[in-house]
Amino acid sequence: MCGIIGYVGQKNSVPFIIDGLKKLEYRGYDSAGISILQENGTLSTVRAVGKVAELEKAALLSSPKGCTGIGHTRWATHGKPSEENSHPHTDCSGEIVVVHNGIIENYLVLRAKLESLGHRFQSETDTEVIAHLIEENLKHIRTGKQEERLLKAVQKTNKDIAGAFAYGVLWARTPGVLIGVKNQSPLVVGLGQNENFLASDVPAFLQHTNKVLFLEEGEIVILRPGKVTVLDKMGQERKAKSIKISWDRQTAQKGGYAHFMLKEIYDQPQAIEDTLRTARADFGKILGLDTAALRGLQNIHIIACGTAYHAGLVGKYYIEQFAGIPVSVDLASEYKYRTVPHKTKTLAIAISQSGETADTIGAVKKAKELGFRTLAICNVLGSSLTRICDSTFFTHCGPEISVASTKAFTSQMTAMYALAISLGLANGNLSKAAFDKLYRELMRLSKAMSETVKMEYTVRHLTRKIYKAERFIFLGRHANFPIALEGALKLKEVSYRSAEGFAAGEIKHGPISIIDKGTPVFMLMPQGSLFEKMLSACQECRARGAFVVAVTTPGGEEQIKQVVDKVILVPSVSEFLQPILNIVPLQFLAYWIAKRLGCDIDQPRNLAKSVTVE
Ligand code: M6R
């Protein structure tokens, strides 16, 4: 977790760094800090507990100024959120400052060793050992220019520390030089005109440049205003090629909406449209499998966390229906530690918005060890997951900033659908005519999504009545069961209300006991083969006093109205695409309940957007 930003250029770095930190707050926001190398050669460090806005106020008071600087927004792992534990951390001399993301696993041993050598520590963090190690290593590198000495000290430090980390370091004796290290935690470089950026993620500098350099694991980057040098893990210079990111700046901003979450709900038609551009591609090529290998696939393992896991659960219905291949869906954190029988011709699909989720990456590594072919369904170009998987199907939904995932979820389900029908065509489970029909329906999804997002007012109005409820229940069957789980997760995340999703057929086996007078129960019940069964569930809940809301499609409203308190109509699409639209009212529901309760919608308490620790 945590967000890193660094700037070297010819302008005052402070506004760049503060602005970059605001864009990175989704990675953590319990404290923040900056260190600026001032013209007089001293480092000015400002740190504050809380969000970047607090840091900004503190920085205004002390007004540091300088063309080289680093900043950090923290999500605590080692040590409570406090000013002492906020980054940047410094060595004993106060001349070296470090910002870090990830975990230094052997920090206790290193700290003890450094303390025995006389180093004094100010914080409880693992990060601080990096600053002291660099200081210690510098003592033993006496020759060469200061810049070369710093690089050597960093290289030696990287050998000393263990774990997954990315960090940035400044030394007061090397003005205009910023060093970055990437080792299994995200770190990217933005290339500007006589200015360069180091950051955990692209939105941090996208306003200033869309030319991006992605670093490989184990690499070190040296940034100067007019030059960027990348050293590979052997210490050799690598001619790294930059990539132009097509995300427009506007997409990374709120675009007039009160919150990113709301904007991203409204982004969904476009996100689906953009994702489907890839769906028109040849999946054999994406998977790197020829027709014979595609036909021969015998098992699919889906691994993911949180919302992406729910997309995986929906994907299982798609793949088994259209491609007839058995699918298991695992939480990545569980997959890693359970016995997975080794079977040949298995494809492991890892779904992740960020591509940086440590649990998912860990599970993919295990799948690779088992000899499975791996496919990432991911939204972030150059992310760690896309680098370790054999191939990637990108969901092109643009940067998702709100911690609560919305547009990534619907894009992931869309991608799973496209993949499933393509696999079905390739392995002969679907005829060409059947594939064409499903494909045409898929191509109309974005338009149906545009209609669906128009329902905000209906949901907003409904929340006036129910937002104070203590507990919410979501019920669905078949591919709408994962939508019930996701509806509950969304509400929990942003409103801190207790919410649970169940398979509708299961409530009578226990969960119905938690339904009380007035408990809001959301029924995902589109017209179709399971509609009647859902009607029975409505009656069972209503009989216990629940306030029942039906999320349904046009056609049977009159019948439903007799057994529910409120009907929400979602445009009708084919049975298997319907879940992708059905989540939208639940996204609005979570948003509006959180808003009425005064919650911090884009940055809910205790959460971070990318969970880069296990
Ligand atoms: O970046 P990823 O898709 O791998 O993230 C996985 C989960 O951490 C993520 O979906 C999380 O559950 C979201 N906050 C849900 O809104």
Binding site membership of 360 for ligand 1 (Cβ less than 6 Å): yes
How far is residue 273's CA from residue 445's CA, in Å, rounded to a whole number?
Answer: 8
Q: What is the pLDDT of residues 50-97, one digit of tens each?
A: 889 999 999 988 889 999 999 999 877 777 888 999 999 999 999 999
Region 106-113 average pLDDT: 96
Among the atoms of ligand 1, which is closest to the Cα of residue 306? 12
Binding site membership of 307 for ligand 1 (Cβ less than 6 Å): yes
The pair of structure tokens assigned to 18 is 């503060």
Region 494-520 average pLDDT: 91
Binding site membership of 402 for ligand 1 (Cβ less than 6 Å): no
Predicted pLDDT of residue 402: 92
Could you tell me which residues come within 8 angstroms of residue 161 by beta carbon, excluding any fewer than 6 positions away?
104, 106, 107, 110, 129, 130, 133
Binding site membership of 612 for ligand 1 (Cβ less than 6 Å): no
Could you tell me which residues come within 8 angstroms of residue 152 by beta carbon, excluding any fewer than 6 positions away?
137, 141, 144
241, 386 Cβ separation under 8 angstroms: no
Binding site membership of 420 for ligand 1 (Cβ less than 6 Å): no
Q: What is the pLDDT of residues 161-206, one digit of tens each?
A: 998 899 999 999 999 999 999 998 889 999 999 999 999 989 899 9
The CATH topology of domain 3-251 is Glutamine Phosphoribosylpyrophosphate, subunit 1, domain 1 (3.60.20)
- CATH code of the domain made up of 254-443: 3.40.50.10490
Among the atoms of ligand 1, which is closest to the Cα of residue 307? 10
Of these residues, 23, 316, 407, 609, which one is catalytic? 609
> Can you tell me whether residue 25 is helix, strand or coil?
helix
User: What pTM was computed for the model?
Assistant: 0.79
Report CA(608)–ligand 1 centroid distance (Å): 9
How open is the CA angle 305-268-416, to the nearest 5 degrees? Answer: 50
Q: Which of 357, 364, 610 to mutate to test the pocket of ligand 1 (most atoms within 8 A of CB)?
A: 357
Binding site membership of 99 for ligand 1 (Cβ less than 6 Å): no
26, 493 Cβ separation under 8 angstroms: no
How far is residue 112's CA from residue 100's CA, in Å, rounded to a whole number?
Answer: 20
The pair of structure tokens assigned to 75 is 């999500």
Q: What is the pLDDT of residues 256-276, one digit of tens each?
A: 788 999 999 999 999 999 888
How far is residue 487's CA from residue 491's CA, in Å, rounded to a whole number?
Answer: 6
432-443 vs 268-279: helix crossing angle, rounded to 10: 150
- Does residue 368 have a pLDDT over 70? yes
Q: What is the pLDDT of residues 273-307, one digit of tens each?
A: 988 876 666 666 667 777 777 788 999 999 999 99
**Domain 254-443 shares a fold with domain 455-599:** yes
Predicted pLDDT of residue 601: 93
Predicted pLDDT of residue 193: 96
Report CA(361)–ligand 1 centroid distance (Å): 13
Q: Which residue has the tokens 């109309």?
A: 444
Active site residue 2: yes
Among the atoms of ligand 1, which is closest to the Cα of residue 405? 16
Domain 455-599 has CATH 3.40.50.10490: yes
136, 114 Cβ separation under 8 angstroms: yes
Active site residue 241: no
- Does residue 1 have a pLDDT over 80? no
Strand segments (E) across 218-277: 219-224, 227-231, 237-238, 243-244
First to last CA, the chain: 10
Domain ranges of the chain: 3-251, 254-443, 455-599
Q: Distances from the Cα of 136 to the Cαs of 117, 130, 132, 609, in angstroms?
A: 9, 10, 6, 35
Among the atoms of ligand 1, which is closest to the Cα of residue 354? 1
Report CA(356)–ligand 1 centroid distance (Å): 10
Q: Which amino acid is at 147?
A: E
